[in-house]
Amino acid sequence: MLQKKYLTLVYLTTATLFFTACTSTTAPEPAPVEVVKPKVVTEQKPVSQNEESIDLSQKSETFHSGMTAGCSTAKGKYSKDSARFSSEAEYKEGWFYGRRKCQAHKAV
- Evaluate whether 45 touches 99 at the Cβ level (below 8 Å): no
- Evaluate whether 91 touches 66 at the Cβ level (below 8 Å): yes
In a domain, 47, yes or no: no
Q: How many structural domains are present in the chain?
A: 1
In a domain, 103, yes or no: yes
In a domain, 53, yes or no: no
In a domain, 10, yes or no: no
Question: Which pLDDT does position 49 carry in this prediction?
Answer: 44
50 CB-side CA count, 13 A? 2
pLDDT of residue 90 exceeding 70: yes
Per-residue pLDDT band at 65 (split at 50, 70, 90): very high
Question: Which pLDDT does position 89 carry in this prediction?
Answer: 93
In a domain, 91, yes or no: yes
Average pLDDT of the segment spanning 61-90: 92
Q: Is the pTM of this model over 0.75?
A: no
Q: Which domain holds residue 82?
A: 61-107
In a domain, 38, yes or no: no
In a domain, 50, yes or no: no
In a domain, 69, yes or no: yes
